Amino acid sequence: MRRLFLTLWWEYRSPSPRSGHLLVGYDIVLLSYQGLAPVLSFQVPYSLQAPSQAPADLGNEMAGIQNTDQTDLAINTSSRAETRSRSNSTETLPTGNPPIDKTIQSVSDEIATHDFYFIPIPMYLRYDPNAPPHFSLLLNIVFGLASTFVVANLYYCQPLLIQLSESFGVTYNEVSRIPTLIQAGYASGLLLISPLGDLVRRRPLLLLLCSSAICLTIPLPITHNVVVFEVFSFLVGMATVVPQILMPLAADLAPPHRRATALSIVLSGLMFGILIARVLAGVVGEFTSWRVIYYVAIGVQLAVLAMLYFLLPDYPQRNTGITYFGILWSMGKFLVTEPLVIQAVLVCIASMATFTNFWVGFDPSFA
């Protein structure tokens, strides 16, 4: 700082060759403690009135300062050259900075501004690599609610089988195919649609699945043909894989210390939807037509679609170098090579079969 003020004062006292004024431009360079490369350089221009004479001792001191500056500049230049030569050599020097994720860097180069190329993404939801989306508690609750009301599509029909058989004029055995077909569609969606969450951006995929589930639910309350009802039930089951895409998305968005909590909220919403769907369908079917519950389902799914559009942040797909059939092959390979996966699959098959048999395997004599 003393050298800086002396420099300014010297320029102020120096005679000006141009009409008594001098436009001064200073390169202020801050050096580190060990004399490394400059870390900041900027100019401060201003105009000063120059007196006619400067003291001689100050001129000697300024000459010494200039010699010192030239020496420092030579040292800094040699230091930079030595640093460049080390970086070009085969020796790798340890640094304190973490490695850059090349996958995220390459993926985030193209920032999406529209869903499906024509629906604009709100500005506050567009992905910014410099400011990744914040996974708030509100967004976590939205994920849970979306799982609740989307997975409920699979179970509305189970307490209404008797009313459905009477409305369509078919036997109990024929109407019992409805929950079987919707579960078969759900299994097909888990196998064929949920792997897309590893290949494409998940925001448009989730919006597409919700929109498809709404459109496929519309024919259910208006049809009078059991075959049409069964076909669209199968298709609705295929589109009801939103929770299985929301759970890995929650794991990606949540910070590491909140990841387990985020997954538990989404999974709790999924289980709550399995239970609440039967309760709502049973109450509605007891006091009014079974068709009403499907109108309610359309309404709540529209609300879920609106919440996802205005609250779900865009997030780029993170996996490169994988293919759709490669994912399917890895799933089949894990099914025979990973003992823990095999045990989990067997336990889930047995528990879900017992749980579903309680609702579907009924005796018409008790109706």
Residue reference for tokens 């790798």: 92
Per the rule left: phi > 0, alpha: psi between -120 and 50, beta: everything else, 62 is alpha
Backbone Cα Rg of the chain: 35
3-class SS at 15? coil
pLDDT of residue 70: 53
Residue reference for tokens 């929301």: 246
d(CA 345, CA 335): 8
Domain extents for the chain? 2-82, 104-330
Q: If residue 211 lies in a helix (H) or strand (E), which one and from where to where?
A: helix 202-217
d(CA 327, CA 348): 22
pLDDT of residue 318: 76
CATH of domain 104-330: 1.20.1250.20
Q: Which residues of the chain fall below pLDDT 70?
A: 1-110, 359-367
Closest to 241 measured CA to CA, from 323, 328, 182: 182
pTM for the full predicted model: 0.69
113 Cβ neighbours under 8 A, 6+ residues apart: 120, 121, 126
pLDDT of residue 13: 45
d(CA 179, CA 181): 5
